[in-house]
C-alpha cells in the first residue's frame, strides 16, 4: 500500500518547515527524539521510498530525483512550496545534498549528518552498484540475518549492544525486504551521481556533521567543508564533530544533535 508523505505539521511552526531525512533501513520515526526537542518548528520526518510505510510506489520514486520530488511534495509542490531547512542523515544526507543541487531555490539551510557527496569515479560507482545488488539479494533472502550483519560492520562499532539490538528489532518489524532492495538499487551510493564538483556551487548555508567516533565520515565532513563556498567575509566553513558519537549520531546523541540544530536553524 502506498502511504502519502508526512504532510501534517505538528504544533509550532516558527520559521520555514524542517525536513528530517533518515538513513538506509530507517524511517521517519528515527527522528522522534530529535524532533521532540524542536517544539517551535514545523518538523516533517517522512518515510523515504522503500522504508517504513512508503512502499508499493511507482519505480520512479526509488531514485534520487524521484525521492527528492516526493519529499518536497510533503511541504508543498514547486509552484506553491517555499524554501525549507533540510537535515539528512547518511542516505538521507545524500538525498538532502541532492535536493540542494537539483532544487536550490527550495533549500534555505542544509545540514548533512554522516553524509557523503557520493563516489568520485564511474569505476567506484559501478563496483558499488554491484555490491548494492548483492546486498539487495541478501536482504530478500534473510532480512534478520542481513540486519544482524549490517549493524556489526565497523561503521557501527560505537553502538551500545542494547541500542544495536533495539535497532535490529525495529528494522525487522517496520521494513519490507523487497522494498529495501528497491531502495538499494535505485538510491544506493552507486546509483547516486557524484556531487563533489557541485559543492562549491551550493547556495544554501551548509554544515557537515559527524560523530567523533566515526573517522571515515569525520574525514568526509572536513573534505566537504573545504569545498563549500564561504559566506561573504567569513573564514573557512568548518564541520561540526560531535563527541561520544559514531555514525548514528541521532540515535546515539539525540540531545546533542537537537541542540546543534536549534542553533544552526535559528
pLDDT at residue 82 in the model:
85
pLDDT tens-digit readout, 197-223: 999 999 999 999 999 999 999 999 999
Q: What percent of the chain has pLDDT over 90?
A: 86
Residues in the chain, overall count: 266
Quickly state the pLDDT bin for 195 (edges 50, 70, 90). very high
Mean pLDDT, the chain, integer: 92
- CA 3 – CA 56 distance, rounded (Å): 8
Side by side, the strands of the sheet bearing 43-44 are 43-44, 18-21, 84-89, 107-113, 206-211, 240-242
More confident residue, 41 or 55: 55
* Strand-pair partners of 54: 2
> What pLDDT, in 10s, does the model give residues 65-110?
999 999 999 887 554 468 999 999 999 999 999 999 999 999 999 9
What CATH architecture is 18-119+193-264?
Answer: 3-Layer(aba) Sandwich (3.40)
φ, ψ for residue 57 (rounded to 5)?
Answer: -85, 165
- Domain range annotation of the chain: 18-119+193-264
Amino acid at each position: 500500500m502506498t502511504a502519502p508523505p508526512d504532510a501534517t505539521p505538528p504544533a509550532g511552526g516558527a520559521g520555514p518547515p524542517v525536513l528530517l531525512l533518515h538513513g538506509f533501513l530507517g524511517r521517519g520515526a528515527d527522528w522522534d527524539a530529535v524532533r521532540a526537542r524542536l517544539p517551535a518548528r514545523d518538523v516533517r520526518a517522512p518515510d523515504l521510498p522503500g522504508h517504513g510505510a512508503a512502499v508499493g510506489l511507482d519505480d520512479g520514486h526509488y531514485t534520487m530525483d524521484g525521492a527528492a520530488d516526493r519529499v518536497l511534495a510533503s511541504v508543498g509542490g514547486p509552484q506553491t512550496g517555499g524554501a525549507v531547512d533540510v537535515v539528512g542523515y547518511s542516505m538521507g544526507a545524500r538525498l538532502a545534498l541532492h535536493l540542494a543541487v537539483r532544487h536550490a531555490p527550495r533549500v534555505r539551510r542544509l545540514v548533512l549528518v554522516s553524509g557523503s557527496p557520493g563516489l568520485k569515479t564511474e569505476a567506484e560507482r559501478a563496483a558499488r552498484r554491484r555490491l548494492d545488488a548483492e546486498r539487495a539479494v541478501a536482504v530478500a533472502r534473510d532480512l534478520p540475518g542481513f540486519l544482524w550483519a549490517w549493524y556489526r560492520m565497523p561503521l557501527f562499532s560505537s553502538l551500545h549492544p542494547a541500542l544495536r539490538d533495539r535497532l535490529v528489532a525495529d528494522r525487522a518489524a517496520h521494513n519490507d525486504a523487497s522494498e529495501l532492495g528497491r531502495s538499494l538499487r535505485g538510491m544506493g551510493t552507486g546509483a547516486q551521481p557524484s556531487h563533489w564538483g557541485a559543492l562549491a556551487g551550493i547556495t544554501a548555508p551548509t554544515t557537515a556533521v559527524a560523530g567523533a567516533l566515526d573517522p571515515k565520515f569525520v574525514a568526509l565532513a572536513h573534505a566537504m567543508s573545504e569545498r563549500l563556498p564561504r559566506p561573504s567575509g567569513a573564514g573557512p566553513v568548518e564541520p561540526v564533530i560531535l563527541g561520544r558519537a559514531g555514525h548514528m549520531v541521532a540515535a546515539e546523541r539525540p540531545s546533542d544533535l537537537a541542540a546543534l540544530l536549534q542553533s544552526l536553524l535559528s
